[in-house]
């Protein structure tokens, strides 16, 4: 993910949404995960998006990817995301182990 200090919320959301889409195989995979058509998803994350990602869509994306509320609105480094994902996996495994 590439960020700069002059990015606005729409640009940050776009960068983050593209990162998430790429992590699962692209626009088609994201459209399936969100339950939206491929053209609809392309409108907000395609090569030349014609719509910004609004609050409602941002929250839907976060929910679909098990991200906390507001995740899409903030800059992230890949290392911090990897650490967060590792912690989430460890927490789930520990919770599962404790429930047995």
Q: What is the pLDDT of residues 20-78, one digit of tens each?
A: 999 999 999 999 999 999 999 999 999 999 999 999 999 999 999 999 999 999 998 65
Does 81 or 43 have the greater pLDDT score? 43
4 in a structural domain? no
Number of domains in the chain: 1
1 in a structural domain? no
Evaluate if residue 19 carries a pLDDT over 90: yes
33 in a structural domain? yes
45 in a structural domain? yes
- Please enumerate in sequence order all residues whose Cβ is within 8 A of that of 15, keeping only pairs 6 or more positions apart, or say none: 1, 2, 3, 7
- Please enumerate in sequence order all residues whose Cβ is within 8 A of that of 19, keeping only pairs 6 or more positions apart, or say none: 1, 76
- Domain span at residue 15 reads 9-98
Sign of CA dihedral 22, 31, 16, 6: positive
Does 82 or 70 have the greater pLDDT score? 70
pLDDT value, residue 83: 54
pLDDT grade for 79, boundaries at 50, 70 and 90: very low
């Amino acid at each position: 993910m590439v960020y700069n200090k002059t990015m606005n919320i729409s640009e940050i959301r776009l960068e983050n949404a593209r990162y998430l889409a790429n992590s699962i195989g692209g626009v088609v995979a994201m459209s399936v995960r969100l339950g939206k058509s491929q053209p609809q998803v392309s409108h907000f994350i395609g090569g030349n998006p014609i719509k910004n990602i609004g609050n409602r869509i941002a929250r839907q994306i976060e929910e679909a990817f098990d991200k906390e509320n507001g995740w899409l609105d903030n800059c992230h480094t890949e290392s911090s995301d990897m650490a967060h994902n590792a912690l989430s996996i460890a927490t789930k495994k520990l919770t599962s182990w404790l429930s047995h």
